[in-house]
Amino acid sequence: MCIAGGRQSVRKIELFERELAETPIQMLSGEYGHNRFFMKRDDSIPFCFGGNKVRKAAAFYRDIRKTDTDVIMTYGSNSSNHCRIIANMAAAMGLACHVISPEENRERLYNTGLVERFGAVIETCPVTEVAETIERRKAAYRAEGRSPYFIVGGGHGYHGTDSYVKAYREIERQEQRAGLHFDYIFHASGTGATQAGLVCGQLLAGDEQRKIVGISIARDAARGRNVVKDSIREYLAADFDRLYREDRLLFEDGYRLGGYGRYTEEVERMIERVMAREGIPMDTTYVGKAFYGMTAYLQSRGIKDKNILFIHTGGAPLYFDRLAKE
Ligand SMILES: *Cc1c(COP(=O)(O)O)cnc(C)c1O
């Protein structure tokens, strides 16, 4: 097993060796509707500008450490927070990193620059050829006697889901300590692993007293729900039929605002307001868009006097992309 320069030389990341520390939950100062608003700061996880992709990466890290991996492969766009964190993780472990990325949009954003800086190989291909490019590259590495570990784009998969089951339990512990109960949990839903993990956490806890609402940033409800549901099925396995309930899966597609990466002036205004009032940066693709979507969702349904938790899922470099363009 132990080839020179292989398994033995893999470096540890101390932060990922055990469970990540709890991220803070803070009450917001400003008024965002007739409810009490709290924010869980997953953007403050202390690795590579934080975010939900760090929770997921830490779960994959522990799996990779059990293998003889010498190259980590993944997939993502030029703006991908996931690719930034995986490339940083690979560099920290002393492993090679190979990122497959669609060639359609090559604008060099902060996340693109960081991935390059961590020494990852970025291979571009037409978005329609991604699946075969990944398979071809994996086979090529194996033919060279290398041992690739592939992480699905966005950190999707069992480990990604598991990391947010743990985050759900973390929220429950924080509620108990604070003597508080969140009636709603909102977050940006993309590939759906974050939502799948939170919903599994809720189903396993048997907690009927709250709603978890994923604000879709791209997918329509039909596709989005199916992907989240598949991840829930994969995670709960034999317990799926007993535990799953259709009404626990709230995937809201009314605030996609034209699709992935699109946003409106209302989103921009909300971002400015939260930055000025709370000192918390949000981006237009995920967090700012979902925060805006949450306020519109609550208002349109006349929801009042509830405790609302919003999970800030990260994306700090995207905040600066927008700032740099002004
Ligand atoms: C990836 C990402 C999301 C979406 O998370 P999923 O688990 O893919 O649904 C939300 N916010 C930020 C900042 C992200 O990078």
pLDDT at residue 325 tops 90: no
Instruction: Give the CA dihedral 165, 167, 172, 176, nearest 10 degrees.
Output: 150
pLDDT > 70: percent of the chain? 98
User: For the residues 66-91, what does the mean pLDDT come to?
Assistant: 97
Q: Which ligand 1 atom is nearest residue 164's CA?
A: 7
pLDDT, position 298: 98
89 contacts 114 by C-beta, under 8 angstroms: no
Which letter does DSSP use for residue 155 in this model? G
pLDDT at residue 128 tops 80: yes
pLDDT at residue 129 tops 50: yes
Write down the residue that tokens 């799948």 correspond to: 196
The CA-CA-CA angle for residues 318, 91, 48, to 5°, reads 30
pLDDT at residue 1 tops 70: no
Which letter does DSSP use for residue 20 in this model? P
Pair type for strands 36-41 and 25-27: antiparallel
Quote helix, strand, coil % in the chain, to nearest 5: 50, 15, 35
Mean pLDDT of the chain: 96
User: For the residues 44-60, what does the mean pLDDT come to?
Assistant: 98
pLDDT at residue 14 tops 70: yes
User: For the residues 75-91, what does the mean pLDDT come to?
Assistant: 97
pLDDT, position 229: 98
Ligand 1 centroid to Cα of residue 38, in Å, is 19
CATH number at 21-52+157-324:
3.40.50.1100
pLDDT-derived band at 124 (thresholds 50, 70, 90) equals very high
pLDDT at residue 117 tops 90: yes
Ligand 1 centroid to Cα of residue 185, in Å, is 15
pLDDT at residue 241 tops 60: yes
User: For the residues 5-30, what does the mean pLDDT come to?
Assistant: 89
pLDDT (tens digit per residue) in 255-306: 999 999 999 999 999 999 999 999 999 999 999 999 999 999 999 999 999 9
Ligand 1 centroid to Cα of residue 52, in Å, is 6
Q: Cβ-count burial of 138 within 10 angstroms (0-12 exposed, 13-18 middle, 19+ buried)? A: middle
Ligand 1 centroid to Cα of residue 271, in Å, is 17
Rg (CA), the chain: 20
**Start-end of CATH 3.40.50.1100 domains in the chain:** 21-52+157-324, 54-155
pLDDT, position 3: 46
Ligand 1 pocket test: pick from 52, 213, 250 the residue with the most ligand atoms within 8 Å of its Cβ: 52
pLDDT, position 9: 77
72 contacts 96 by C-beta, under 8 angstroms: yes
Classify domain 54-155 at the CATH topology level. Answer: Rossmann fold (3.40.50)
pLDDT at residue 29 tops 60: yes
pLDDT, position 8: 55
- Ligand 1 pocket (Cβ < 6 Å) reads 51-53, 81, 154, 188-195, 286-287, 313-315
pLDDT > 90: percent of the chain? 95
pLDDT-derived band at 326 (thresholds 50, 70, 90) equals confident
Ligand 1 pocket test: pick from 40, 83, 162, 191 the residue with the most ligand atoms within 8 Å of its Cβ: 191
pLDDT at residue 2 tops 90: no
Give the integer Cα–Cα distance in Å for 289 and 3.
Answer: 48
User: For the residues 40-60, what does the mean pLDDT come to?
Assistant: 98
pLDDT at residue 7 tops 80: no
Q: Which ligand 1 atom is nearest residue 190's CA?
A: 9
Q: Which ligand 1 atom is nearest residue 315's CA?
A: 13
65 contacts 159 by C-beta, under 8 angstroms: no
pLDDT at residue 28 tops 90: yes
Ligand 1 centroid to Cα of residue 3, in Å, is 37
Ligand 1 centroid to Cα of residue 312, in Å, is 10
* Nearest protein Cα to ligand 1, atom 4: 190
Ligand 1 centroid to Cα of residue 189, in Å, is 6
